[in-house]
Chains A and B, each alone.
Chain A
Amino acid sequence: MSIDTETARKVAKLARIRVEDDALPVLANEFNAILGFIEQLNEVDVDGVEPMTSVTPMRLKRREDVVTDGDQQGAVLTNAPDAREGFFAVPKVVE
């Protein structure tokens, strides 16, 4: 698999990261280096090997169904560039 400039532009757009045109070829090259490394990993035969999801034998931690959080409207909105009447206010988005 090879990443060209156009694909790099698309990935940047999907990630909402602004990349100037002249930076795109460099970015594409970096992607290709990473993907090349992954291709190398793909050569390893992992048939019948369980995916390792944790280095320690851990079980997914659960919580009880109890309300322990919330009620902090002010804190939640603190970093918002714009907030009104308890809502985040953002430029209009309508379908």
Chain B
Amino acid sequence: MLDLTYDAPAPKVIAGATGDWELVIGLEVHAQVSSRAKLFSGASTLFGAEPNSNVAFVDAGMPGMLPVINEECVAQAVRTGLGLKAEINLVSAFDRKNYFYPDLPQGYQISQLYHPIVGEGEVLVELGNGTARVVRIERIHLEQDAGKSIHDMDPTMSFVDLNRTGVALMEIVSRPDIRGPEEAAAYVGKLRQIMKYLGTCDGNMQNGNLRADVNVSVCRPGDYEKYQETQDFSHLGTRCEIKNMNSMRFIQAAIEVEARRQIAIIEDGGAVVQETRLYDADKNETRSMRSKEEAHDYRYFPCPDLLPLEIEQAWVDDIAANLGTLPDDLKGRFISDYGLSDYDASVLTAEQENAVYFEGVVAKSGDGKLAANWVINELFGRLKKDETEITDCPISPDQLGGVVALIKAGDISGKIAKDLFEIVYTEGGDPAEIVEARGMKQVTDTAAIEAEVDKVIAENPAQVEKAKENPKLAGWFVGQVMKATGGKANPAAVNQIIAKKLGG
């Protein structure tokens, strides 16, 4: 694989009244595991079902019901861990996190506090302009999701739907290695991309299948470096945790506004209180979740219903062998195999569907660079105009590959290719057959072009005289010949012949 080297980006700096401040950010990302059934019950995970229809008695916390773990959810967590180059713990265990809330009928969430299934890993977060941040992953643990409370259906009641209760979540905990709002969003984006490639989480933020708790603190320039050297948190400021955000835009806005709030407190001579806060997008402010504070005593203890989760190295190796390609590796391969730029390779690997499509075009046309140009500029531009996704694309990789192959073979000019693309895109059909049937083929036959050139020269003796004195005027003849041939003449051949005849 190609060795991609990046520089670390500069941290975000906020100018305060008493000097500059830097941000230190750590994230807890909750990613819903892609599985058919829930983590500990046989109920469906399908989104959007009738309320309380995807509920087993285990999920409803009925007395005497026992959890039985879904092996696929374990495999998904292992896949995600391998994708983040993390250590996989062959022995992990489940604990109960106790708290009362109407959408948690058991009265506790089964989670993995003491022995998570995945340990330390890292993820490379590209930030453009040759910069990237390596974010260390502290751990990933498996846990149950809670149900959903709806507060706006009745003035005095909240309505509870337990369909999501017990669906498997992976909580991915980062180290405080993120240094700005854009980095935080890029980090979530990268996790999302990796999990989508692995098929372990669909990454749908709108449905809440991917949400983040963000820990934010501020410090003076130089303090973070001291923390890095010593791993001693006392060099950093007191952090606040902003809960449950499910949009990249909100994550960035919340970090910015929370950092400014903390700076204002410190500069006023106060102290930041460590607490859980909520981001209000309408008011663009964070506010304290006081109710959470009192209930913060979770009284964790090992879940007596579940034996420790023991997995075999051979099983992990088998999963690793069938992991599929990760976006970083694919990007590296696109750069080394096809000579693409870092930017083009990033665009083409952003979504796996794009990469698969692109490789289909390459397979048919045999030209990676030309294929990349056509996919990124023509196809993506056209899809964007139509607000169509690549999965609903009316032109197949084979068809676009056919167009690219014709350009590569010199059968059609770039200008004709755009017309051809439009025809295939709107009408369908085989590009080579269309070119043949509609006479769009580029004329490379020198004799035919020479005949056209001779004709233009014979009809315009005055222009010929001028052009002999000023060779720059040859362009006019090229234009005339192209016009006469309906744009089908090979421009390179036309140029050559005209230069020869006029120079003659």
A contact set with B: CB distance below 8 Å: 10, 14, 16, 53-54, 58-73, 76-77, 82, 84-95
Whether A87 pairs with B159 at a CB distance below 8 angstroms is: yes
Whether A70 pairs with B42 at a CB distance below 8 angstroms is: yes
Whether A91 pairs with B157 at a CB distance below 8 angstroms is: yes
Cα–Cα, bound, A7→B68 (Å): 35
Whether B102 pairs with A93 at a CB distance below 8 angstroms is: yes
CB distance from A64 to the nearest CB of B (A): 7
Chain B residue with the shortest CB-CB distance to A79? B62
**What sequence of 0s and 1s flags, for each residue 100-126 of chain B, a beta carbon within 8 Å of any chain A beta carbon?**
111000000000000000000000000
Assess A14 versus B54: contact at CB under 8 Å? Given A63-B70, A82-B157. no
Select B55's contact among A67, A72, A85, beta carbons within 8 Å: A72
B contact set with A: CB distance below 8 Å: 35-37, 41-44, 50-58, 60, 68-74, 98, 100-102, 149-151, 153-162, 278, 289, 291, 295, 297, 299, 306-310
Whether A70 pairs with B68 at a CB distance below 8 angstroms is: no
Query: Can you spell out 28 A-B residue pairs with CB atoms less than 8 angstroms apart?
Result: A14-B297, A53-B307, A58-B307, A61-B68, A61-B69, A63-B37, A63-B68, A65-B71, A65-B72, A66-B42, A68-B37, A68-B42, A70-B54, A71-B53, A72-B55, A73-B52, A73-B55, A76-B57, A84-B154, A85-B51, A85-B159, A86-B51, A87-B159, A88-B52, A88-B162, A91-B158, A93-B149, A93-B151
- Number of interchain pairs (Cβ within 8 Å): 134
Whether A88 pairs with B68 at a CB distance below 8 angstroms is: no
Inter-chain contacts of A72 with B (CB < 8 A)? 53, 55
Cα–Cα, bound, A65→B42 (Å): 8
CB distance from A51 to the nearest CB of B (A): 9
Whether A67 pairs with B37 at a CB distance below 8 angstroms is: yes
Inter-chain contacts of B41 with A (CB < 8 A)? 69
| Residue of A61, A73, A87 with most partner-chain B CB within 10 A | A87
Cα–Cα, bound, A69→B55 (Å): 7
Inter-chain contacts of B35 with A (CB < 8 A)? 65
Whether B71 pairs with A88 at a CB distance below 8 angstroms is: no
Cα–Cα, bound, A7→B29 (Å): 34
Chain A residue with the shortest CB-CB distance to B46? A67
